Structure 1
Amino acid sequence: MNWQQICELDLLAPEYGVPALVQNHPVALFRTRDDELFAVGNVDPFCGAGVMSRGIVGDRDGEPTVASPMLKQVFSLRTGQCLDDPDARLPVYPVRRRADVVEVAVP
């Protein structure tokens, strides 16, 4: 896997997203209140806008989620699956922290 450095961990505030372009893939990077890191596609599959990094981070029955800021569909941060429409999903990317830096890998 080709890991790309995105930002320092301190710059990624809990429950906020950061957009990144990783090898031409628009990615939304999130840090949850529980200090977990997730990376999903930044393009909302319902409207085609690159806005997922501005979504509302939360959880649904213990599943970490992000709600689209456009049409409010909720997606799992673990799987990318839309919890409101089983036919939609976001791509999910591996994310890791190395020391105090956050990295993402894309295929």
Structure 2
Amino acid sequence: MESNNGYAPIIALPNPRRSWLLHCTDSDRDLGVCEVAVNDGTVLIAGPDNEVLFTLEMDDIALFRAALDAAIEVAEHDLRTRRPRLLPRDQTSPGRTSPVS
């Protein structure tokens, strides 16, 4: 991409994106920020204290994706089959659910 003066920009976002910040909760159920990042082909998962919890390489990335996809399907089934007690997450308060009134 060129700027108006014909030069390539010096300041630009990395492409492709290399990290994602997510709301999460710690073991005390306190709200925090977790990170999923990629560094040289390795996926790193960091918890709310910014400590790398684990890394995934090569085949482990595919196995983790398959396990997460399967867990999401089971969680969705659980949510669909139980009595509706919670509303979907509110966009204004990430990570929290609102009781049905």
> TM-score under structure 2 normalisation?
0.29
Whose helix fraction is larger, Structure 1's or Structure 2's? Answer: 2
Larger Rg, first or second structure (1 or 2): 2
Whose strand fraction is larger, Structure 1's or Structure 2's? Answer: 1
Q: Which has the higher contact order (CA 8 A, sep 6+)?
A: 1
